[in-house]
Structure 1
Amino acid sequence: MSDLIDIQNVDAQSIGKRAADMVDDEKGRVKKALYSDPEIFEEELDRVFNNTWVYVGHESEVAEAGAYKTAFIGRQPVILVRDRKKNLHVLLNRCRHRGATVCEGRKGKTKSFTCPYHGWGYALDGELRSLPKAEEYAGVIDTSELPLERLRCESYAGLVFATFRDDIEPLADFLGGAKKWIDLFMKQGGGYPVKVLGEHRFNFPGNWKIQLENTTDAYHFPIIHKSFISSLDEATADIFDFLDGEGFVEDLGNGHSVMVMIPELIDLEDNLDEPIPARFETLADELRAEGHSDEEVRRLVRAVHGTGFNLNLFPNVSCSMAFFRVLRPVSVGETEIQHVALGGEGAPTAFNRKRMRLHEHFQGPMGFGTPDDGEAWERVQKGSMAGPDGWILVNRGQNNLHTTPDGNVAGAVCSETGMRGAYRQYKKMMTDGEEN
């Protein structure tokens, strides 16, 4: 009996510390059990997703009063909504009576939220406004004390984040060095505000950290994405031959990182006087025919293909060249991915149409990129179950680092600098509040 008690105490002392001990900073490696241990996964939901800023949507998805979209923070369902005064709110999607969700649509427009179970009605800001047989609650409840639970939410450059913690640092501080890159990413509207054009979702049988690693992993590109490269014209294929180029991966702090693959496309407002690539001449002609000036045409054409970098924002969203990739942990061995196509609010139809076609070419469910990525992620999960508890290597470029003008650590474009930065933040969060 005492042995059973000891085992329970050991288990309770710190699953988080056990996970943190599986991250070896010095040698640049992590234990493969981080992909498959269900106890660690449950602890991650609390220590990571419930204790930091998590991306929930883009402001353009809820542009009007009454517009909403549903999302998740870890496993917890939330609603991003704009009230009648156009203020943004993030609400727990849970009726305060018996706990049913009050909104099941992915996105839409509404005047209020009503629980389908017992009819409790809530305003757009979460306030409880009505309930059937209200007289039976006389002297029992105070409706002012039972709004939908509100989360702290803040936005930066249209990206909306929410957190369960009221004592956490402001979002701008959390994003830190990533803000510069978010600002650059948002230039791909071609002079127009970036807006969400659409999305598609899929699940892959693997752990969320496998995908987190992928966004700043250039090393896999010429291997996994041979089919994509073969679908390109020669000039475009040359652009994606970047492993020996001047690109880099920079650790931006707090788990964020940026991978610059095509340095000449960092700032889409630079070099507008360069010749328009042949593959975009048809688009340029269409824009000219609509009466756009030569400067406008050049700005739109330069922006249409997106930036030359991937920006990873810990723990769940990346601004990846021309789209958002949002991950949601479902279980230790399953992750949902949203690929969000982006265009320009009020931009020419031809521009947004081209953005969609380029998105479909790589990211779409029938594209040349995403299916290959998905298979690789699945194989990593499957392979992590083989043999004794071994190590996953994230040490490439560890001894070949430099300091950027912003004072951050960076390595070559094929280095694993971003992954190590993410795991340092992960390790910190998994041991926060514990004695060493």
Structure 2
Amino acid sequence: MNIATPVVPDYAALVHADRALTTMYTDPAIFEAEMARVFERTWVWVAHGSEIAEPGDFKMAMVGLQPVIVVRDRKGVVHVHVNRCRHRAATVCEVAKGKTNSFVCPYHGWSYALDGSLRGLPYEAGYAGTIDKKQFPLKSLRVEEYAGLIFATFKDDIAPLTDFLGGAKKWIDLFMKQGAGYPLTSLGEHRFSFPGNWKIQLENTTDAYHFPLVHKAFLTATDSETAATMDIMNNGGYVEDLGNGHSVMVMVPDLVDLDDNLEAPIPKKFEALAAELTAEGHPDQEVRRIVRAVGGTGFNLNLFPNLGCSAAFFRVLQPISVDETEVRHVALGMKGGPAAANRARLRIHEFFQGPMGFGSPDDAEVWDRVQHGAQGGKELWLMLNRGLAGEEALPDGHLRSDVSAETGMRAAYRQWKAMMEVTS
């Protein structure tokens, strides 16, 4: 019997400096390779520290297509375990998040400590003393954390997380300032899926070009101050390639550093909130800092391959198949901060990102259309050349262009191609 040799795609031919082939969205073989060559060989975001704040706290996540458990042990150390019993492969956890002392397989009762070690198994005598529990812990990933962002990787010999984040660290630090002096914390999340490839969503986080068109309903429904602030095509913003696939889109330069210009007049839309905070006894400078942080930062940060720190929330993408992606929107607030401020942040989040909001549902509609359209003319190119002619190299080597440029997409695909071409 002759067994056909699999055809390995020419990844260099798929992605050029200014374009990519549509099969990037539609080829199941490419998707399968991405899960192994990208998601299992780099740092993947799995949680924010506030989601597993106390010993015993856990949450489920995914690294590519592999289910994992993110858990904090009794000593406060964070672990990420593959959600699979070492005996016969049943999952040892089916609860999205919670608190526990151990993980127990429902099939044959093998039990694991929070650090993944095998604690016990029923009727151990049946192994006639031949089983060494130390040889059968849950498979654990390498874990590192930066500024509350927890990442995991299957690749033990990978460079440290701080090296991978590189130029993005500055922007992560700025993003965390929206805690206004309080620790940033998750206020909850909602998730949805769309019938499209994960890279369609990856591109979106630093795509300003679509904003005035796709989000016209939002700009019409919101107040005039917000509409003026979000006139991002005319605010002097930019997109910057931060290296390793990461990028930042600065939409409102005046809101990059939330500690700057605190003496500016409080926007009318926040005057009632400022009055409520003042009545609660917060000093003027703290009121200004909190109010300024409520609306979030003036930029979207894309961390390759799966996390967007998007103005005031986390957008997490999860590949499901070549033509299906799940998106999680994690609302963020101030742990221990004023209830009024967190309430205001949630209302803003709901207005745009919520399932009945004016923003994300429109995004999901066009992502769907992209995947549908990609079925036709698969030999045609996806154009990624906007802003290329005006791109400038900064002293640190990063590339920057105007806010509507596709610099962020070129950054992501440059990293994608580099990872896909490595075969070992």
Length-normalised TM-score, structure 1: 0.96
The 5 Å alignment of 1:371-410 reads 371-410=361-400
The residue type equivalent to 1:50 in the other structure is: E
Q: 2:143 aligns with which of 149, 153, 156?
A: 153
Structure 1 counterpart of 2:321: 331
2:110 is equivalent to residue 102 of structure 1 = no
Which of residues 227, 236, 251 in structure 2 aligns to 1:237? 227
Paired residues of 2:69 and 2:80 also in contact (CA < 8 A): yes
2:194 to 196, 204, 216: 204
Letter in 2 for 1:33: T
Aligned amino acid, residue 343 of structure 1: G
Q: Tell me, yes or no, if the aligned pair for 1:19 and 1:40 is still in contact at 8 Å.
A: no
Partner of 2:358 in structure 1? 368
Report the Cα distance in structure 2 between the residues aligned to 1:161 and 1:35, rounded to whole angstroms: 26
Match of 2:11 in 1: 19
Partner of 2:310: 320
**Residues 293-308 of structure 1 mapped to structure 2, 5 A cutoff:** 293-308=283-298
Query: Secondary structure in 2 aligned to 1:380?
Result: helix
Aligned residues: 424
1:166 aligns with 2:159: no
1:323-357 CA-to-partner distances (Å, cap 9, x unmatched) read: 00000000000000000000011111111111111
Say yes or no: does 1:57 pair with 2:47.
yes
Alpha-carbon distance in 1 for matches of 2:203, 2:284: 40
Structure 1 residue aligned with 2:130 = 140
Find the residue that maps to 1:246 and give its secondary structure: coil
CA contact (8 A) 1:53 1:162 kept: yes
1:433 Cα deviation (Å)?
Answer: 3.5
SS across alignment from 2:277 = helix
Question: Do residues 193 (structure 1) and 167 (structure 2) align?
Answer: no
Does the 8 A contact of 1:19 with 1:34 survive in 2? Answer: no
For the residue of structure 1 that corresponds to 2:232, the secondary structure is coil
* In structure 2, C-alpha distance between the alignment counterparts of 1:318 and 1:350, rounded to whole Å: 26
In 2, the alpha carbon distance for the partners of 1:266 and 1:289 equals 29
Q: Give the Cα–Cα distance (whole angstroms) in 2 for the partners of residues 95 and 378 of structure 1.
A: 36
Give the distance between the partners of 1:19 and 1:403, measured in 2 at CA: 26
Describe how 1:44-123 pairs up with structure 2 within 5 A: 44-123=34-113
Q: Is the 8 A contact 2:388 2:406 kept in 1?
A: yes
Give 2:242's aligned residue: 252
Contact 2:40 2:153 survives alignment (8 Å):
yes
Q: CA deviation at 1:232?
A: 1.4
Q: CA contact under 8 A between 2:21 and 2:378: conserved in structure 1?
A: no
3-state DSSP of counterpart to 2:218 = helix
Structure 2 gaps of 5+ residues are: none
User: Residue 404 of structure 1: CA displacement?
Assistant: 3.2
Q: Is the 8 A contact 1:249 1:415 kept in 2?
A: yes
> Which letter maps to 2:219?
I
Paired amino acid for 1:84: R
Aligned AA (2:270): F
CA–CA distance in structure 1, aligned partners of residues 423 and 363 of structure 2: 36
3-state DSSP of counterpart to 1:24: coil
- Aligned-residue CA RMSD in angstroms? 1.1
* Structural mapping, 1:206-221, within 5 Å: 206-221=196-211
Residue in structure 2 matching 1:29, options 19, 22, 35:
19
Distance (whole Å) between structure 2 residues aligned to residue 406 and residue 96 of structure 1: 47
User: What secondary structure does 1:176 align onto?
Assistant: helix
**Quick one: percent identity of the two aligned structures?**
63
How far, CA to CA, are the matches of 2:368 and 2:394 in structure 1?
A: 35
Deviation sequence 1:4-53 (CA, Å, 0-9, x none): 65xx33x25x33xx23421012xx00000110001110011000001000
Q: Secondary structure at the match of 2:174?
A: helix
SS in 2 for 1:177: helix
Deviates more, 1:33-42 or 1:240-249: 240-249
Q: Is the 8 A contact 1:70 1:106 kept in 2?
A: yes
Deviations 1:139-174 (A, max 9, x none): 321001101111000000000000001100000000
Counterpart Cα distance in 2 of 1:225 and 1:105: 35
* Structure 2 residue 173 is matched with structure 1 residue 183: yes
324-333 or 244-253, which deviates more: 244-253
Task: Calculate the TM-score normalised by the size of structure 2.
Answer: 0.98
Show structure 1 runs of 5+ residues with no match. Answer: none
- State the alpha-carbon separation in 1 of the partners of residues 404 and 360 from structure 2: 20
Q: Structure 2: how far apart are the matches of 1:121 and 1:235?
A: 56
1:245 shift after superposition = 2.6
Contact 2:239 2:408 in 1 (8 A): yes
Contact 2:22 2:378 in 1 (8 A): no
Aligned equivalents of 1:138, 1:351: Cα separation in 2: 61
1:405 shift after superposition = 5.0
Q: Residue 411 of structure 1 aligns with which residue?
A: 401
> 1:388, 1:139 → 2: CA distance?
59
